[in-house]
Structure 1
Amino acid sequence: MNKTDEKYQAYVQILKEELIPAMGCTEPIALAYAAAKAREVLGEIPDRVWIGASGSIIKNVKSVIVPNTNHLKGIPAAAAAGIVAGEAKKELEVISEVSEAKRNQIAEFLEQTEITVDYIDNGIVFDIIIEVYKGASSAKVRIANYHTNIVRIEKNGEIVLDIPVEGESEEGLTDRSLLDVEAIWDFINTVDIDDIREVLSRQIEYNTAIADEGLRGDYGANIGSVLLSMYGDDVRNRAKARAAAGSDARMNGCELPVIINAGSGNQGMTCSLPVLEYAKELNAGEEKTYRALALSNLIAIHQKTGIGRLSAYCGAVSAGAAAGAGIAYLCGGGYEEVIHTVVNALAIVSGMVCDGAKASCAAKIAASVDAGILGYHMFLQGQQFYAGDGIVTKGVEATIHNIGRLGKDGMKETNAEIIRMMIGEN
């Protein structure tokens, strides 16, 4: 693929758009970002807050610890952190620097301030609206479709910003429909490493650091440590354990940032840390490691394009299949090995539900990475799943299309039922 090709430039830009830093689970951080922006527009700390959140936002904020809040959980805590201590200009690192005094003020704000949270359904999966009030003054901020996409700002009823929300299109981002596995394969084999070095080196640095911390510390159910203690330290188990450990830390209050993929830190860690572990084991060298990471990241993004940012379909499945592709490449596999690895992995674990961000995400990550590795080794042994085996159909693109249908359309009612369970509706 030539540097002047449309797809070449698009793929470089997609990596830059998707592989960005975030501190904490991205849905509560998006809430904190919206709240910090609303306070900035208001110009002072409010005395009343109203929050409207779509069901998938509620699902993904309910059970995860908000970093830098002394282990608070939930939507009011995320909003309070953004209002009291957030810097909106930092976007998904909005609460990355919070003093102990500010942490105490967050708790005081929660105790003293009227905060109302309502479920909203405006026909899109990702929707956050925050209104803040101080006396007769007010401000309103809406984020829609992805985590940093502010589409409306109001102050005292006057519109400051208004970007039309046309369904679930992702305004302002490079066209993800340009992605396909064959072109991704061409890209990763021909890309000038300097064009992707900065974004991928940051992913290596950040995600390695939080995996190390997850294994050192005591976070959640400590899935990463359990895997190592029970199953040993061969490369396959290390690949699963390090990805799980990063999630252990991130879901349970660790204050280190991660580099996300498709809006998710868990997915960002899942499609990078196993690849890095295999690269280290195989002494792959810098260039091959970067090409493997580009392959894994882009295949993960490609799958998520059809599914959507948030769904009842666990995003670790997509990222685990993508990690398998990166591992296949590192082990000397060509295009055939890569596509069959992806299809095999998807046949094994597709349908795993997302019931929100929480400690068990780490175990789901381990299972998904295992499926990616198994998918590769199946093909090495002359084994594969064929068209007609469930949702597997002829060709990797057609199978990925089916996965998109399953995650976006087929599991829509599953998502609604999970949300009803989580908010206590019968």
Structure 2
Amino acid sequence: MEKTNEKYKAYVQILKEELLPAMGCTEPIALAYAAAIARKTLGTIPDRVVIGASGSIIKNVKSVIVPNTGHLKGIPAAVTAGIIAGRPEKELEVIAKVTPKQAAQMKEFMEHTDIIVEHVDHGATFDIMITLYKGSSYAKVRIAVYHTNIVLIEKDGSILRQVEVKGEAEDGLTDRSLLNMEDIWDFANTVDIADVKGILDRQIECNMAIAEEGLKGDYGANIGKVLIAMSEDNVQTKAKAMAAAGSDARMNGCELPVIINSGSGNQGITASVPVVVYARELKVSEEKKYRALTLSNLTAIHQKTPIGRLSAYCGAVSAGAGAGAGIAYLCGGGYQEVVHTVVNALAIVSGIVCDGAKASCAAKIASAVDAGILGYHMYIRGQQFYGGDGIVTKGVEATLKNVGRLGKEGMKETNKEIIKIMIGE
């Protein structure tokens, strides 16, 4: 792909937009970010807080530990962290720097402040509204559609910022409809490494660090450690275990940043760590490693785009298939091996549901990575799933379209039921 090609520039920009640093699970961090902006707008610590959150936000924040809070969980904890210690200019690293004094202030604030959480449905799957009050004064901030998309800032009746929310359209971001597997393959094979190296170096450094921490520490259900203990020592096991260990740590309070993919740290870990593990095991060149990561990340983003940021469809599935594509490339596979790996993987694990961020995400990641690896090994041994096998249809793009439809439209009612189960209705 030539550098002058419209898609070349777009693909580089998409990687820049999606592979961002985040401290902690991105939904509670988005709440903290909104709260930090509201606190800055109000100009003081509030005496009352009202939080409006869509069902998918409630689902994703309910069970995950918010980092730098002393292991607090849930929506009030995330918002409190943003109010007390948030640095809004840091966006998804808004609570990366918290002092012991601020952590103590968070607990005191939650004990003595009226904090109300309301379920809102304004038509956006991703929707957060934070209103902070101090006496008769208030500040209101809304984030919608994606994690840093501030669509409203209001103070005492004056609108300081307002952006129209057009359904799930991600206005302001590069057009993701330019993505397709054939062009992603072309781009991954021809991109000037200098154009992506900085982005990918940061992903390798951060995501491998949290994976290694997950194997060393005691986090959640320790899925990474369990995988290593129960399986033979080979590259397949290590790829699954390290990806799972990164999630073990991240879902359970580890205070290390990750580089996200499609708005999710778990997806960022899944799309990168297994590929790096294989690259190191196979002792490939640095250039080949970067090309494999480019392929994996863009494949994951392409799959996730039609599903949306939040769904009842587990995002690790898309990222695991992306990792499978990267691994197929590292093992010498060409375009046909890559796209059949993706289709095979999706045929295996597209039934995994998202029931929020928590310890079991690590096990789902392991399953998704395993499906990506299996999908590749199936194809090189002459085995594959064919059009008409369930949601699989002829052609990779047609199958991805089916998966997008399943995740976005088909699982709407599933998502509602999951939310009802989780909040006890």
Q: TM-score range by the shorter chain?
A: over 0.9
Aligned counterpart, 1:73: 73
2:103 matched residue in structure 1: 103
Matched, 1:148 2:140: no
- Aligned equivalents of 1:296, 1:420: Cα separation in 2: 34
Name the amino acid aligned to 1:230. Answer: M
Structure-1 residue corresponding to 2:274: 274
Query: Is 1:86 paired with 2:119?
Result: no
Distance 1:248 1:197 in 2: 27
Task: Indicate whether 1:201 and 2:182 are aligned.
Answer: no
Give the aligned partner of residue 39 of structure 1: 39
Q: Distance in 2 between matches of 1:344 and 1:200?
A: 26
**Structure 2 counterpart of 1:237, one-letter code:** T
Q: 2-side partners of 1:171 and 1:227: how far apart?
A: 41
* Structure 1 counterpart SS, 2:132: strand
Residues 84-132 of structure 1, C-alpha deviations (whole Å, 9 max, x = no match) = 0100000000000000000000000000100000000011100000000
> Distance between the aligned counterparts of 1:331 and 1:212, measured in 2?
24
| Pairwise CA distance, 1:171 | 1.4
Task: Look up the match of 1:51.
Answer: 51
Letter in 2 for 1:138: Y
Q: Give the superposed CA RMSD.
A: 0.4
Alignment-mate amino acid for residue 133 of structure 2: Y
Alignment correspondent of 2:164: 164
Give the secondary-structure state (helix, strand or coil) at the position aligned to 1:129: strand
Q: CA deviation at 1:137?
A: 1.0
User: How far apart, CA to CA, are the structure 2 residues paired with 1:159 and 1:85?
Assistant: 25
1:418 is matched with which residue?
A: 418
Q: Percent of aligned pairs with the same residue? A: 75
CA deviation after TM superposition for structure 1 residue 136, in Å: 1.4
Partners of 2:285 and 2:356 lie apart in 1 by: 37
Query: Counterparts in 2 of 1:239-388, with a 5 A limit?
Result: 239-388=239-388
The aligned amino acid for 2:81 is A
Gaps of 5+ in 1: none
5+ residue gaps in structure 2?
none
TM-superposed CA distance for 1:232, in Å, is 2.6
2:150 maps to a residue whose letter is I
In the other structure, the counterpart of 1:183 is: 183
Shift in Å at residue 233 of structure 1? 2.0
After superposition, give the CA deviation of every residue in 1:199-250 in whole Å (9 maximum; x if it has no partner): 0000000001000100000000000000001103200000000000000000
Q: How big is the shift at 1:164?
A: 0.3
In the alignment, what sits opposite 1:125?
Answer: 125
Please state whether the residue corresponding to 2:115 is helix, strand or coil: strand
For 2:403, give the aligned amino acid: I
**Letter paired with 2:100:** E
Report the counterpart of residue 219 of structure 1 in structure 2. 219
In the other structure, the counterpart of 1:192 is: 192
Distance of 1:157 and 1:260 partners within structure 2: 36
Could you list the structure 1 runs, at least 4 aligned residues long, displaced by more than 6 angstroms after superposition: none
Residue identity in the other structure for 1:296? S
1:351 Cα deviation (Å)?
1.5
The one-letter amino acid paired with 2:277 is E
Whole-Å Cα distance in 2 between the matches of residues 84 and 137 of structure 1?
18
Distance 1:241 1:289 in 2: 20
Aligned amino acid, residue 325 of structure 1: A
Corresponding residue of 1:393: 393
- State the one-letter code of the partner of 2:375: G
Amino acid at match of 1:299: T
The TM-score, its normalising length taken from structure 1, stands at 0.99
SS across alignment from 1:138: strand
- How many Å apart are 1:157 and its aligned residue? 1.2
Distance in structure 2 (CA, Å) of the matches to 1:347 and 1:18: 25
Instruction: Give 3-state SS (helix, strand or coil) of 1:271's partner.
Output: helix
Q: Aligned partner of 2:290: which letter?
A: Y
